[in-house]
Amino acid sequence: FNQGYCYPCVISLAQCDTCIIKPEKCHYHEGTCREPEWGEENCFSDHFVYLANTGNLKVGITRHVTDGISSRWIDQGASQATVMLRVPDRLTSGKVEQLCTQYIGDKTNWRTMLKGQPDQQDLIALKHQMLEKLADDLAQITADKGIQAVTSVDDVSHEIGYPVEDYPVKIKSINLDKTPEFNGVLTGIKGQYWMLDGDRVINIRKYAGYEVEFSAS
């Protein structure tokens, strides 16, 4: 099941609830959180709304930005990223992200991401264009939740590189359920994907919870 969890955990743990994928649906304030203590520890801390270039411009949220870089960006295979806003909780981050999706997507096109380094984008300019479009909505959030509900962040655009020797031309995705054994030459790693010779790729994250034997030479 999701991220390798067993079915009982999927239907009982807060970290497996639908609001993890769709934070704008956080229901802690309704008193229906599956694990209130977990929610308090994980959903009521600073969250960052960001823009990233993964081959297409996307918006996303993350809780952790260490030394300016979020592991979330690396996980998604972003070549560029910048933080747009800081907010105090997960629900607010989800609402801001949802507002942004009126103008840009919130998904990574994994095939586009794996086909090479994307064209550079001026994320700072795009960030300010987005903030201008959202000005009235952000003002309303501030009016409802207080002046610290939405905090601007310094204009810093980060570039991220990946160890890739050769990008695939015509992508062939390996599915362990259909091809339980394979071998080849590792040609690169980007995001959740390993790239192999023969234009093959495998999403390693997809197989969390699987027992796999691996050898390298």
DSSP character for 63? S
**DSSP characters for 93-104?**
HHHHHHHHTTTS
How far apart, in whole angstroms, are the C-alpha atoms of residue 53 and residue 79?
A: 6
Q: What is the pLDDT of residues 54-110, one digit of tens each?
A: 999 999 999 988 778 899 999 999 999 999 999 999 999 999 999 999 999 999 999
Closest to 58 measured CA to CA, from 103, 98, 106, 26: 106
Q: What is the pLDDT of residues 185-217, one digit of tens each?
A: 999 999 999 999 999 999 999 998 899 999 998
